[in-house]
Structure formats: structure tokens, C-alpha cells
Amino acid sequence: MTQTGALVVLIACPTGEPADTLARSLVEAGLAACVNRLPGMRSTYRWQGEVVTDEEDLLLAKTTSDAYPALQAFVAARHPYEVPEIVALPVTAGHAPYLDWLRANVAASESGVARS
């Protein structure tokens, strides 16, 4: 399969308002066409030498590969975690009208700067 230029970015967040605020901000900034918030995720990970388990929300941000650097910087600057999870997965295929809509609604310029 060929690349579409679209990405799904996984972002783990504290539950509730922090996740809602970040999701809305990404769409308002034109860095993501859509962000789904999946509440109730349970994450187990190693942090500072300890294994911990936390309740989190998972954001699925749909964006383009051109906008990804700006999206990553935007999330890193606003995320409450010291080391936030920001992982991009390529979309290798998809419904063409949806992918067209996604690209049309990600407003990052060629330089990766989002509209204000």
C-alpha cells in the first residue's frame, strides 16, 4: 500500500478536562482535522524506576505528515506530563473523501506553522 500523507497521532493524557482542552486546541489551531477522545484507558508503564498504573484518556489526532512537526511541538508545549506520549502512525489507506476532508482541514502551512 502507498502512503496517503495522513497520520493518526496517539496522545495519552490525564483524564477529563486536560484531554478535552488539548483536543479542542489542536483542532482550533488547524493542526488536526479531528481528535477522538477515548476515556477510560488504563496505562501501566515504568516511570522513575517504578512500575505505575494510571487512568488516562487517549487522544487520536488525525493530521498530515506535513503538519506533524508543528503538532508535536504544540502538544509538548501544552501537555501536563514531563514526557508526553506523542506517537504518529502512518495511514497507508483510507476512504478517499475522508482523506481529502482531512487534508483540507489541517491548516498548517508548508513551513509547519499553524494558523492562529
pLDDT (0 to 100) of residue 2: 58
In a domain, 114, yes or no: no
Q: What is the pTM of this model?
A: 0.89
Show the cell assigned to 14: 490525564
Residue 116 lies in a domain: no
pLDDT at residue 111 greater than cutoff 50: no
In a domain, 30, yes or no: yes
| Burial of 35 from C-beta contacts in 10 A (0-12 / 13-18 / 19+) | buried
Domain count, the chain: 1
| Domain-embedded: residue 81 | yes
Q: Tell me if 91 is assigned to some domain.
A: yes
Confirm whether 49 is domain-assigned: yes
Q: Which amino acid is at 47?
A: W
| Each residue's pLDDT tens digit, 59-83 | 999 999 999 999 999 999 999 999 9
1 located within any domain: no
Q: Give the domain CATH number at 24.
A: 3.30.70.120
Is 111 within a domain? no
In the structure, what pLDDT confidence band is assigned to residue 37 with cuts at 50, 70 and 90? very high
Report percent pLDDT > 70 for the chain. 91
pLDDT > 90 in the chain, percent: 88
Residue range(s) defining the domain that contains residue 73:
6-105
> What is the distance between the alpha carbons of residues 65 and 59, in angstroms, rounded to a whole number?
17
Identify the band that residue 107 occupies on the pLDDT scale cut at 50, 70 and 90: confident
